[in-house]
Structure 1
Amino acid sequence: MRQFLLVITIVLLRWAFSVRCSNDYSKNDFPEGFVFGSAFSAFQWEGAVDEDGRSPSIWDTYLHSENGHGRIEDGDCDGYHKYKEDVRLMYEMGLDAFRLSISWPRLIPSGRGLVNPKGLRFYKNLLDELTRYGIEPHVTLFHNDLPQALEDEYGGWIDRKIIDDFTAFAEVCFREFGNEVKHWSTINEPNMLAWGGYDLGVIPPMHCSPPFGTGNCSRGNSSTEPYIVLHNMLLAHASTARLYKQKYKYKQNGSVGITCYAYWMVPFTSSQEDKIATQRAKDFFLGWVLHPLVFGDYPDIMRKIVGKRLPRFSKDESDLVKDSSDFFGVIHYTTMYIKHLSSSYQGDFNSDMNAALIPFGNSTMVAFDVLPWGLEGVLEYIKQNYGNPPVYILENGRPTSHNSSINDIGRVEFLHAYIGSVLKSVRNGSDTRGYFQWSFMDLFEFINFKYTFGLYYVNFSDPERKRSPKTSAFWYSAFLKGTTKVPKSVSSSLEFSSQ
């Protein structure tokens, strides 16, 4: 049976590249030092939500509420207990680097104060395992899992108290893990967290207010909270970056950055209104995060439209935020059409932007269209408008239904095309330094866990959470080991799955 499956895989890979992927390239075409990896986050991978002193996060609370769409126990990978196995799979695949996150409620269960020794030991063991196998860890400090204790105490990100608490949490991580970690991302996609969690109310903590949002929110203010939350996230990031530079950088020689969710955006029609709306949407989505980090303030169009609802930086805060990121982490999945939209309401992020986001082509949550030029557009835009800073692609991948075939040729096509677009961008002068595929294995996905992005299939019905490589895992391993050409190198790519 194994031999039959290998033959089928080789045939499918040959078909994928002969029919769909005409542009061959190899890892060796990228600059020396460029890193390739994969990724997951603590909440989506670890499981063990009530073990060894971990406290609930706002996602735990949401998933066990009437609005929740399941339980983390139904979709976690049990990485807390299987981390050694998973790191070995990473090594056998040939990853240069791996992006992971630290669970704040596992490390500091109360959000501040005492460190949980068992949580500390887990992350030390995980990082030691990665180091032992020569895999470079890229660590995100906050990937959506805010301790529920801080949400209950003062509202989490809507209160400036969180700046000090987040900085203190970060310092524990720098002090305890900094000898192994040289690349820190402070906050994962703050623009999507602020928009989805505090305006639309579709993700925890489910804040919104009528007439905006989902209608299922019992608290919040869609007109002001998204802007307040992102403002506090930027200040928390900048405070953390300053701490690292003052106390740790000289002896650990690492770097601190932040991520930004980045649709590429194109006008829906050739009308002047849609063209103007597209630039406005870029300022609201990308400039909201990147502009203060480069220029010390939000884009002028945001100041003009949002007015007094948009918080202001003091002179000291502006100086603190400006140039506080050593790199930008880009999270990109797909491209959107932008259509000018004159909202009948005024006063939340959507209506302030006055633009409708329309999926390009046949893109859905089940299958994104393969639009690699969209990622090129994002990287070129950052290069042209923000001084060509160092960039890491920290998430890029394609979802499929969890129960679909492990022969995920569509994902292979997607990855081949998008990695090729990164190479083209680098050759065109973008200072992009790494690419991280999302995700290494099937995870509990935040929006809908029925869809997954994994290179490895995880059987969530199996108490052992068995991992099985998909066709995309074979392809990515072949690429990481030197070539995308098939079948010349496919035999070596299969070795890691036969042990």
Structure 2
Amino acid sequence: MCFRSFGDRVNYWATFNEPNVAVIRGYRSGIYPPSRCCPSFGNCTAGDSTTEPFIAAHNVILSHSSAVHLYRTKYQKTQGGSIGIVMNCLWYEPFSNSLEDKLAVERALSFYMNWFLDPIILGKYPAEMKEILGDHLPAFSKDDMEKLKNGLDFIGINHYTSFYAKDCKFSTCEPKAGASKTEGLSLRIAQKDGLFIGEPSEVDWIYVYPQGMEKIITYIKDRYNNTPMFITENGYGYKEKPNFKREDLLNDVKRVDYMRSYLDAIATAVRKGADVRGYFAWSLLDNFEWISGYTERFGLYHVDYATLKRSARLSADWYRQFIANETKQCQSVFKEADVK
């Protein structure tokens, strides 16, 4: 229906946004609807965290391939658009220089992101997942494999932060999230020797680690033959502060520093050959942030929820000037090239 109704105006289609987050939090930890999990993984009334995430993910992959197949065969030639998928993409650093922790990084990436991208682009689940999960991974039929050959035109990357990965396959880990077989026997942690991987933010899952942006882009470039990429989400959040003065709420210096460093990391990856086609900040406006509701603010513009008044933060002014400066530099480069 969307292809038929809007395809003459939509140039880029994403079949799913962050299906890995929806599957993991909906069917493993149960903190998102439909809230299914085992007691050892979360507080749910029903579910099996060791099998259901892989069934749900398999269905996501099949529905993506069906949508792409439909678009390719019926609409793309006349409409001229592109179709892809958007993944939440974390970067991981090894907890130590040991071979075991370096392998834990590969498992962490495979059980989080490659889980979806490998079947869609390479036609099969990651080897790390097959080795650990065996028959718990659903199989693709011959018809499925034919549709998977359609792949995608671009990869959307939602990247905010990075973590350490610690081996739990060859080492003993405390029983906590990340240490089980269903999570690749790779423990995700934010601290090492009492220090966080990057400066913590007010949002408890964001640590400022801009080099992770360059590294995740480079990893995706190398693994997936430099498929065109878009940074579809990147941003910095603050907690709601109802008693703060308006001018303090608009002076988001840490967001400016975050965006500057992450955009510089993207530019470094592009200079090294990564085919990044665009960047989208999260977000233009403060908004409803999933299960956090209105308690977290990611907007370049502050929104007064009582009056709906929108006010430009420091980050909005900085980003506007950043775009203007980059545009001038690009125009100068192209002009010089034309003269030569």
Is the 8 Å Cα contact of residues 327 and 391 (structure 1) preserved in structure 2? yes
Secondary structure of the residue aligned to 1:218 is coil
Cα drift, residue 304 of structure 1? 1.4
1:266 match: secondary structure: strand
Is residue 311 of structure 2 the alignment partner of residue 468 of structure 1?
yes
1:394–1:446 distance in 2 versus 1, CA, 3 Å: same
Which secondary structure does the structure 2 equivalent of 1:412 belong to? helix
Is it true that 1:205 corresponds to 2:49 in the alignment?
Answer: no
- Structure 1 position 459 matched with structure 2 position 288: no
Structure-2 separation of matches of 1:362 and 1:202: 26
- Equivalent pair of 1:277/1:338 in contact (CA under 8 Å): yes
Q: Which residue of 2 aligns with 1:376?
A: 214
Relative to 1, partners in 2 of residues 1:345 and 1:223: Cα closer, same or farther, differing over 3 Å? Answer: farther
* Letter aligned with residue 27 of structure 2: Y
Shift in Å, 1:323: 4.0
- Whether the 8 Å CA contact 1:292–1:322 is kept in 2: the answer is no
Write the deviation string for residues 223-259 of structure 1: whole angstroms up to 9, x where unpaired. 1111011110111111001111111111110011001
| 1:335-484 aligned within 5 A | 335-341=162-168, 342=172, 350-352=180-182, 353-359=184-190, 360-364=197-201, 366=203, 368-403=206-241, 405-449=249-293, 450-462=295-307, 465-483=308-326
Distance across 2 between alignment mates of 1:270 and 1:297? 30
Residues 1:240 and 1:361: Cα distance change in structure 2 (over 3 Å):
same
Specify whether residues 265 and 185 from structure 1 end up closer, same or farther in structure 2 by C-alpha distance, changes over 3 A only: same
Identify if the C-alpha distance between structure 1 residues 455 and 310 changes in structure 2 by more than 3 Å, giving closer, same or farther: same
Which structure 1 residue ranges, 5 or more long, are not aligned? Answer: 1-171, 486-499
Tell me by how many angstroms 1:344 deviates. Answer: 7.4
Pairing 1:179–2:22 present: no
SS of the equivalent of 1:195 reads helix
Q: Is the 8 A contact 1:370 1:417 kept in 2?
A: no
For residues 188-203 of structure 1, the aligned pairs below 5 Å read 188-203=17-32
Under a length normalisation based on structure 1, what TM-score does the superposition of the two structures give? 0.59
Deviations, residues 335-389 of structure 1 (Å, cap 9, x unaligned): 1111123467799994331111112234355273432210100111011111110
Query: CA RMSD of the aligned region, Å?
Result: 2.2
Q: Distance in 1 between matches of 2:77 and 2:149?
A: 21
Rounded to whole Å, the distance in 2 between the matches of 1:354 and 1:457 is 41
Aligned length: 310
Say if 1:372 and 1:421, in contact at 8 Å, map to a contact too. yes
**Contact 1:288–1:299 under 8 Å retained in 2:** yes
Deviation at 1:277, TM superposition (A): 0.8
Tell me which of 298, 309, 319 is aligned to 2:146. Answer: 319
Larger relative contact order (Cα-Cα within 8 Å, sequence gap ≥ 6): 1
Secondary structure of 1:235's partner?
helix
In the alignment, the residues of structure 2 paired with residue 349 and residue 310 of structure 1 have an alpha-carbon distance, to the nearest angstrom, of 18
Report the counterpart of residue 267 of structure 1 in structure 2. 94
SS in 2 for 1:284: helix
Offset at residue 324 of structure 1 (A): 1.9
Q: Residues 132-151 of structure 1, C-alpha deviation per residue, up to 9 Å, x if partnerless? A: xxxxxxxxxxxxxxxxxxxx
Q: Aligned equivalents of 1:369 and 1:354: distance in 2?
A: 23
- SS at 2:318 equivalent: helix
Cα offsets for 1:143-198 (capped at 9, x unmatched): xxxxxxxxxxxxxxxxxxxxxxxxxxxxx111111111010000011111111110
One-letter amino acid matched to 2:122: F
Distance in 2 of aligned mates of 1:278 and 1:472: 33
